[in-house]
Protein backbone atom coordinates (compact mmCIF):
# COMPACT_ATOMS: atom_id res chain seq x y z
CA UNK A 1 0.00 0.00 0.00
CA UNK A 2 1.44 3.34 -1.03
CA UNK A 3 1.85 6.36 1.24
CA UNK A 4 -0.87 8.15 -0.68
CA UNK A 5 -3.38 5.37 -0.12
CA UNK A 6 -2.46 5.24 3.57
CA UNK A 7 -3.14 8.94 3.91
CA UNK A 8 -6.43 8.56 2.08
CA UNK A 9 -7.61 5.84 4.42
CA UNK A 10 -6.65 7.72 7.57
CA UNK A 11 -9.53 8.92 9.72
CA UNK A 12 -10.06 12.67 9.73
CA UNK A 13 -8.55 14.35 12.73
CA UNK A 14 -11.07 15.16 15.44
CA UNK A 15 -11.23 18.89 16.18
CA UNK A 16 -10.06 20.15 19.53
CA UNK A 17 -12.61 20.12 22.35
CA UNK A 18 -12.51 23.92 22.63
CA UNK A 19 -13.12 24.35 18.89
CA UNK A 20 -16.04 21.94 19.04
CA UNK A 21 -17.45 23.83 22.01
CA UNK A 22 -17.21 27.18 20.18
CA UNK A 23 -19.00 25.66 17.22
CA UNK A 24 -21.70 24.32 19.51
CA UNK A 25 -22.25 27.81 20.93
CA UNK A 26 -23.44 28.85 17.48
CA UNK A 27 -26.47 26.64 18.13
CA UNK A 28 -27.52 29.14 20.80
CA UNK A 29 -29.22 31.15 18.06
CA UNK A 30 -31.76 28.35 17.74
CA UNK A 31 -32.89 28.95 21.33
CA UNK A 32 -34.90 32.17 21.57
CA UNK A 33 -34.84 32.01 25.36
CA UNK A 34 -31.08 31.55 25.38
CA UNK A 35 -30.60 34.40 22.90
CA UNK A 36 -32.73 36.75 24.99
CA UNK A 37 -30.72 35.82 28.09
CA UNK A 38 -27.47 36.38 26.21
CA UNK A 39 -28.65 39.83 25.12
CA UNK A 40 -29.41 40.82 28.71
CA UNK A 41 -26.05 39.57 29.96
CA UNK A 42 -24.13 41.18 27.09
CA UNK A 43 -25.97 44.45 27.72
CA UNK A 44 -24.66 44.68 31.27
CA UNK A 45 -21.20 43.55 30.20
CA UNK A 46 -21.18 46.32 27.59
CA UNK A 47 -22.32 48.83 30.22
CA UNK A 48 -19.55 47.74 32.56
CA UNK A 49 -16.84 47.89 29.90
CA UNK A 50 -18.00 51.20 28.44
CA UNK A 51 -18.80 53.05 31.66
CA UNK A 52 -15.79 55.38 31.35
CA UNK A 53 -16.53 56.06 27.68
CA UNK A 54 -20.11 57.23 28.20
CA UNK A 55 -21.02 60.87 28.88
CA UNK A 56 -22.12 60.13 32.43
CA UNK A 57 -21.98 62.23 35.55
CA UNK A 58 -19.62 61.40 38.37
CA UNK A 59 -21.37 58.57 40.27
CA UNK A 60 -20.05 59.97 43.56
CA UNK A 61 -20.93 63.65 42.94
CA UNK A 62 -23.59 64.93 45.33
CA UNK A 63 -26.06 67.76 44.78
CA UNK A 64 -28.05 69.03 47.75
CA UNK A 65 -30.81 70.75 45.68
CA UNK A 66 -31.46 67.57 43.68
CA UNK A 67 -32.39 65.05 46.34
CA UNK A 68 -34.70 62.17 45.34
CA UNK A 69 -35.57 63.58 41.94
CA UNK A 70 -37.89 61.42 39.78
CA UNK A 71 -36.89 60.10 36.37
CA UNK A 72 -36.42 62.61 33.51
CA UNK A 73 -36.00 65.52 35.93
CA UNK A 74 -33.97 68.49 34.64
CA UNK A 75 -30.50 68.93 36.09
CA UNK A 76 -28.68 72.20 36.84
CA UNK A 77 -26.30 71.64 33.92
CA UNK A 78 -29.17 71.73 31.43
CA UNK A 79 -29.41 67.98 30.96
CA UNK A 80 -31.67 65.36 32.47
CA UNK A 81 -31.50 62.93 35.33
CA UNK A 82 -32.72 60.07 33.15
CA UNK A 83 -33.47 57.76 36.07
CA UNK A 84 -33.64 60.40 38.82
CA UNK A 85 -31.39 60.88 41.86
CA UNK A 86 -30.91 59.28 45.24
CA UNK A 87 -31.06 60.73 48.75
CA UNK A 88 -27.77 62.62 48.21
CA UNK A 89 -28.55 63.98 44.78
CA UNK A 90 -26.36 61.46 42.95
CA UNK A 91 -27.33 60.41 39.44
CA UNK A 92 -28.91 56.94 39.58
CA UNK A 93 -28.12 56.08 35.95
CA UNK A 94 -24.43 56.81 36.44
CA UNK A 95 -24.33 54.82 39.67
CA UNK A 96 -26.10 51.86 38.06
CA UNK A 97 -23.70 51.70 35.12
CA UNK A 98 -20.56 52.21 37.18
CA UNK A 99 -21.92 49.80 39.78
CA UNK A 100 -22.29 47.09 37.13
CA UNK A 101 -18.48 46.89 36.96
CA UNK A 102 -18.25 46.14 40.66
CA UNK A 103 -21.11 43.66 40.58
CA UNK A 104 -19.80 41.74 37.56
CA UNK A 105 -16.15 41.80 38.60
CA UNK A 106 -16.58 40.55 42.15
CA UNK A 107 -19.39 38.11 41.37
CA UNK A 108 -17.51 36.54 38.44
CA UNK A 109 -14.28 36.36 40.43
CA UNK A 110 -16.05 34.81 43.43
CA UNK A 111 -17.78 32.25 41.18
CA UNK A 112 -14.52 31.33 39.44
CA UNK A 113 -12.70 30.83 42.75
CA UNK A 114 -15.57 28.79 44.19
CA UNK A 115 -15.68 26.65 41.05
CA UNK A 116 -11.92 26.11 40.99
CA UNK A 117 -11.96 24.86 44.59
CA UNK A 118 -15.16 22.88 44.18
CA UNK A 119 -14.09 21.17 40.96
CA UNK A 120 -10.75 20.06 42.36
CA UNK A 121 -12.33 18.68 45.51
CA UNK A 122 -15.15 17.00 43.60
CA UNK A 123 -12.97 15.35 40.97
CA UNK A 124 -10.59 14.07 43.66
CA UNK A 125 -13.46 12.66 45.73
CA UNK A 126 -15.12 11.04 42.72
CA UNK A 127 -12.04 9.59 41.02
CA UNK A 128 -9.79 8.66 43.92
CA UNK A 129 -12.62 7.41 46.17
CA UNK A 130 -11.74 5.76 49.49
CA UNK A 131 -10.71 8.01 52.33
CA UNK A 132 -10.38 10.95 49.91
CA UNK A 133 -14.08 10.70 49.18
CA UNK A 134 -15.02 10.21 52.84
CA UNK A 135 -13.06 13.22 54.13
CA UNK A 136 -14.06 15.61 51.33
CA UNK A 137 -17.70 14.54 51.49
CA UNK A 138 -17.79 14.90 55.29
CA UNK A 139 -16.30 18.40 55.23
CA UNK A 140 -18.65 19.39 52.42
CA UNK A 141 -21.66 18.09 54.31
CA UNK A 142 -20.65 20.14 57.36
CA UNK A 143 -20.68 23.37 55.35
CA UNK A 144 -23.83 22.37 53.45
CA UNK A 145 -25.65 21.94 56.76
CA UNK A 146 -25.59 25.73 57.18
CA UNK A 147 -28.00 27.88 55.16
CA UNK A 148 -25.78 29.77 52.66
CA UNK A 149 -26.75 33.25 53.80
CA UNK A 150 -26.23 32.35 57.46
CA UNK A 151 -22.79 31.00 56.58
CA UNK A 152 -21.97 34.22 54.68
CA UNK A 153 -23.07 36.35 57.62
CA UNK A 154 -21.01 34.31 60.11
CA UNK A 155 -17.86 34.56 57.98
CA UNK A 156 -18.26 38.24 57.15
CA UNK A 157 -19.09 39.14 60.74
CA UNK A 158 -16.06 37.35 62.19
CA UNK A 159 -13.59 37.86 59.33
CA UNK A 160 -14.61 41.30 58.09
CA UNK A 161 -12.35 44.28 57.29
CA UNK A 162 -11.64 44.81 61.00
CA UNK A 163 -10.55 41.21 61.58
CA UNK A 164 -6.98 39.95 61.41
CA UNK A 165 -7.55 38.75 57.86
CA UNK A 166 -8.92 42.13 56.81
CA UNK A 167 -6.10 44.01 58.51
CA UNK A 168 -3.51 41.73 56.92
CA UNK A 169 -4.93 42.35 53.44
CA UNK A 170 -5.04 46.10 54.14
CA UNK A 171 -1.41 45.99 55.33
CA UNK A 172 -0.43 44.81 51.86
CA UNK A 173 -1.51 48.20 50.50
CA UNK A 174 -4.97 47.33 49.23
CA UNK A 175 -7.93 49.66 49.67
CA UNK A 176 -11.19 49.01 51.46
CA UNK A 177 -12.95 47.80 48.30
CA UNK A 178 -10.34 45.10 47.67
CA UNK A 179 -10.32 44.04 51.33
CA UNK A 180 -14.10 43.67 51.43
CA UNK A 181 -14.13 42.00 48.01
CA UNK A 182 -11.57 39.38 49.01
CA UNK A 183 -13.48 38.56 52.18
CA UNK A 184 -16.70 38.25 50.16
CA UNK A 185 -14.90 35.82 47.83
CA UNK A 186 -13.77 33.76 50.81
CA UNK A 187 -17.31 33.65 52.21
CA UNK A 188 -18.89 32.68 48.89
CA UNK A 189 -16.22 30.02 48.31
CA UNK A 190 -17.03 28.36 51.63
CA UNK A 191 -20.72 28.44 50.77
CA UNK A 192 -20.62 27.46 47.08
CA UNK A 193 -17.56 25.21 46.70
CA UNK A 194 -19.14 22.25 48.59
CA UNK A 195 -22.18 22.43 46.32
CA UNK A 196 -19.97 22.45 43.22
CA UNK A 197 -17.88 19.58 44.63
CA UNK A 198 -21.00 17.46 45.12
CA UNK A 199 -22.10 18.04 41.51
CA UNK A 200 -18.64 17.27 40.12
CA UNK A 201 -18.32 14.16 42.28
CA UNK A 202 -21.58 12.77 40.92
CA UNK A 203 -20.51 13.44 37.32
CA UNK A 204 -17.08 11.88 37.85
CA UNK A 205 -18.53 8.73 39.42
CA UNK A 206 -20.37 8.16 36.13
CA UNK A 207 -17.58 9.25 33.78
CA UNK A 208 -14.78 7.23 35.37
CA UNK A 209 -16.49 4.00 34.27
CA UNK A 210 -16.17 4.97 30.59
CA UNK A 211 -13.82 3.17 28.22
CA UNK A 212 -11.63 6.19 27.49
CA UNK A 213 -10.76 6.45 31.20
CA UNK A 214 -9.74 2.80 31.25
CA UNK A 215 -7.68 3.41 28.10
CA UNK A 216 -5.91 6.35 29.74
CA UNK A 217 -5.10 4.23 32.79
CA UNK A 218 -3.72 1.45 30.55
CA UNK A 219 -1.51 4.02 28.80
CA UNK A 220 -0.05 4.85 32.19
CA UNK A 221 -1.41 8.38 32.46
CA UNK A 222 -1.12 9.99 35.88
CA UNK A 223 -4.22 10.50 38.03
CA UNK A 224 -3.77 14.27 37.74
CA UNK A 225 -3.78 14.02 33.94
CA UNK A 226 -6.89 11.86 33.96
CA UNK A 227 -8.73 14.21 36.30
CA UNK A 228 -7.82 17.44 34.49
CA UNK A 229 -7.75 16.27 30.85
CA UNK A 230 -10.12 13.33 30.62
CA UNK A 231 -12.75 13.84 33.33
CA UNK A 232 -13.38 17.57 33.84
CA UNK A 233 -13.60 18.54 30.12
CA UNK A 234 -16.18 15.81 29.53
CA UNK A 235 -18.29 17.11 32.41
CA UNK A 236 -18.35 20.66 31.06
CA UNK A 237 -21.97 20.68 29.84
CA UNK A 238 -23.73 20.41 33.21
CA UNK A 239 -21.02 22.52 34.86
CA UNK A 240 -21.44 25.42 32.44
CA UNK A 241 -25.18 25.43 33.02
CA UNK A 242 -24.67 25.34 36.79
CA UNK A 243 -22.04 28.10 36.55
CA UNK A 244 -24.54 30.44 34.86
CA UNK A 245 -27.14 29.72 37.53
CA UNK A 246 -24.63 29.97 40.36
CA UNK A 247 -23.34 33.30 39.08
CA UNK A 248 -26.89 34.61 39.40
CA UNK A 249 -27.05 33.32 42.97
CA UNK A 250 -23.74 35.03 43.75
CA UNK A 251 -25.00 38.34 42.32
CA UNK A 252 -28.06 38.11 44.55
CA UNK A 253 -25.89 37.19 47.55
CA UNK A 254 -23.59 40.18 47.00
CA UNK A 255 -26.62 42.46 46.63
CA UNK A 256 -28.12 41.13 49.88
CA UNK A 257 -24.80 41.58 51.68
CA UNK A 258 -24.60 45.14 50.35
CA UNK A 259 -28.16 45.78 51.57
CA UNK A 260 -27.08 44.55 55.03
CA UNK A 261 -24.00 46.82 54.95
CA UNK A 262 -21.70 43.79 54.84
CA UNK A 263 -20.70 44.17 51.21
CA UNK A 264 -18.44 46.64 49.45
CA UNK A 265 -17.73 49.81 51.48
CA UNK A 266 -19.23 53.22 50.67
CA UNK A 267 -19.25 55.25 48.52
CA UNK A 268 -18.90 52.46 45.92
CA UNK A 269 -22.16 52.18 43.91
CA UNK A 270 -23.09 48.66 44.95
CA UNK A 271 -26.62 47.86 43.73
CA UNK A 272 -27.76 46.30 47.00
CA UNK A 273 -26.37 49.19 49.02
CA UNK A 274 -28.11 51.68 46.71
CA UNK A 275 -31.44 50.22 47.83
CA UNK A 276 -30.43 50.19 51.50
CA UNK A 277 -29.35 53.84 51.48
CA UNK A 278 -32.81 55.13 50.53
CA UNK A 279 -35.10 52.60 52.18
CA UNK A 280 -35.66 54.90 55.17
CA UNK A 281 -37.42 57.44 52.94
CA UNK A 282 -40.27 55.06 52.13
CA UNK A 283 -42.49 55.91 49.16
CA UNK A 284 -40.56 59.14 48.55
CA UNK A 285 -37.59 57.02 47.44
CA UNK A 286 -39.49 54.40 45.45
CA UNK A 287 -37.84 55.55 42.22
CA UNK A 288 -34.36 55.23 43.73
CA UNK A 289 -35.14 51.70 44.98
CA UNK A 290 -36.82 50.38 41.85
CA UNK A 291 -33.97 50.89 39.39
CA UNK A 292 -31.27 48.97 41.30
CA UNK A 293 -33.80 46.17 41.85
CA UNK A 294 -34.56 46.12 38.12
CA UNK A 295 -30.84 45.97 37.34
CA UNK A 296 -30.31 43.00 39.66
CA UNK A 297 -33.38 41.20 38.35
CA UNK A 298 -32.53 41.74 34.68
CA UNK A 299 -28.97 40.48 35.06
CA UNK A 300 -30.01 37.41 37.05
CA UNK A 301 -32.87 36.72 34.63
CA UNK A 302 -30.45 36.92 31.73
CA UNK A 303 -28.12 34.40 33.36
CA UNK A 304 -30.98 32.00 34.08
CA UNK A 305 -32.28 32.18 30.51
CA UNK A 306 -28.75 31.82 29.16
CA UNK A 307 -28.33 28.72 31.30
CA UNK A 308 -31.45 27.23 29.71
CA UNK A 309 -30.06 27.91 26.26
CA UNK A 310 -26.64 26.48 27.11
CA UNK A 311 -28.30 23.39 28.54
CA UNK A 312 -30.05 22.80 25.23
CA UNK A 313 -26.89 23.10 23.14
CA UNK A 314 -24.84 21.03 25.61
CA UNK A 315 -27.22 18.14 24.98
CA UNK A 316 -26.39 18.37 21.27
CA UNK A 317 -22.61 18.70 21.74
Where in the chain are the domains? Answer: 92-316
Q: Tell me what pLDDT residue 251 has.
A: 94
Q: Tell me what pLDDT residue 26 has.
A: 64
Q: Tell me what pLDDT residue 107 has.
A: 94
Q: How far apart are CA 264 and CA 277, in angstroms?
A: 13
pLDDT (tens place) for every residue of the chain, 317 residues total:
454 444 444 434 444 555 655 565 666 677 788 889 999 999 999 999 998 898 888 898 888 888 888 888 888 888 888 998 998 889 999 999 999 999 999 999 999 999 999 999 999 999 888 898 999 999 999 988 888 888 888 888 887 777 787 888 888 888 888 888 888 999 999 999 999 999 999 999 888 888 888 888 888 888 888 888 888 888 887 888 899 999 999 999 999 999 988 888 878 888 999 999 888 887 888 889 999 999 999 999 999 998 888 887 766 65
> Containing H/E element for 81?
strand 80-81
Q: Tell me what pLDDT residue 238 has.
A: 84
Alpha helices by DSSP H, listed for 129-235, are: 130-144, 148-158, 164-171, 176-207, 211-218, 223-225
Q: How far apart are CA 90 and CA 116, in angstroms?
A: 38
Q: Tell me what pLDDT residue 22 has.
A: 59
Which class is domain 92-316?
mainly alpha
Q: How far apart are CA 128 and CA 281, in angstroms?
A: 57
Q: Tell me what pLDDT residue 120 has.
A: 93
Q: What distances in angstroms separate CA 11 from CA 3, 7, 14, 21, 185, one per listed residue?
A: 14, 9, 9, 21, 47
Q: Is residue 207 helix, strand or coil?
A: helix
Do residues 306 and 29 touch, judged by C-beta distance below 8 A? no
Q: How far apart are CA 92 and CA 96, in angstroms?
A: 6
Least Cα distance to 177 among 252, 112, 98 occurs for 98
Other beta carbons within 10 Å of 39: 12
Q: How many residues does the chain have?
A: 317
Q: How far apart are CA 247 and CA 163, in angstroms?
A: 27
Q: Tell me what pLDDT residue 11 has.
A: 39
Q: Is residue 74 helix, strand or coil?
A: strand
Alpha helices by DSSP H, listed for the chain, are: 3-9, 17-25, 32-49, 92-128, 130-144, 148-158, 164-171, 176-207, 211-218, 223-225, 236-259, 271-278, 286-316
Q: What distances in angstroms separate CA 217 from CA 88, 123, 136, one per listed residue?
A: 65, 16, 24
Q: Tell me what pLDDT residue 1 has.
A: 46
Signed CA dihedral, 292, 297, 303, 309: sign only: negative
Eight-class DSSP state of 236: H
Q: Tell me what pLDDT residue 24 has.
A: 59
Amino acid sequence: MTATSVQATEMPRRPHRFIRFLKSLALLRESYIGMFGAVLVLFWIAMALGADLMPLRDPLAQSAPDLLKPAFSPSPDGGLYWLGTDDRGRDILSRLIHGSRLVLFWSILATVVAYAVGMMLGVMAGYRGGWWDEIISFIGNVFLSFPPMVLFLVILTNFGPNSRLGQYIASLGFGGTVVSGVIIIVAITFGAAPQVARIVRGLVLDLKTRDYIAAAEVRGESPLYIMLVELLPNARGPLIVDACLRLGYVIIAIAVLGFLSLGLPPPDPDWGKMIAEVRGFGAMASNAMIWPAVAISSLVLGLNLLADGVREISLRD
